[in-house]
Amino acid sequence: MKTSFIFAAAMLLAAGGSLAQESTVQLKDGPGRDKANACLACHSLDYIQMNSRFLDKAGWTASVNKMINAFGAPIARDDVEPIASYLAQNYGKLPQ
């Protein structure tokens, strides 16, 4: 029993240390940011940064539609355009 407690305490301390090192991703300010925050309902904003180098406006539009159609994201159809525009403007694929 004492060994289990020590193990559990060690795991909590280790987890706390690793969590303290994580930074909170915040979206850049701009038109559509409020709507893009809907992405938080299903995943972290790290997803946006990870995919930003690959997606242009058409890619972001397809991605938002995929989140709605395939995964049931709670995003209104009228918000697809503002979200995709915001993401393309602030996190879009850089020109080659």
Tell me, yes or no, if the pTM score tops 0.85: no
Kindly give, in sequence order, each residue whose CB lies less than 8 Å from that of residue 36, ignoring residues fewer than 6 positions away: 27, 48, 83, 86, 87
Cα–Cα distance list, 14 to 8, 10, 87 (Å): 10, 6, 35
Q: What pLDDT does 78 receive?
A: 97
How much is the average pLDDT of 36-48? 89
Per-residue confidence at 50, pLDDT binned at 50, 70, 90?
Answer: confident
> 25-91 belongs to which homologous superfamily?
Cytochrome c-like domain (1.10.760.10)
| DSSP-assigned letters across all residues of 16-68 | HHHHHTPPPP-PPPSTTHHHHGGGGGTS-THHHHHHTTT--HHHHHHHHHHHH
Q: What pLDDT does 34 receive?
A: 95
pLDDT at 9 over 60: no
Cα(14)–Cα(11) distance, integer angstroms: 5
Q: What pLDDT does 17 receive?
A: 45
pLDDT at 92 over 60: yes
How much is the average pLDDT of 70-85? 96
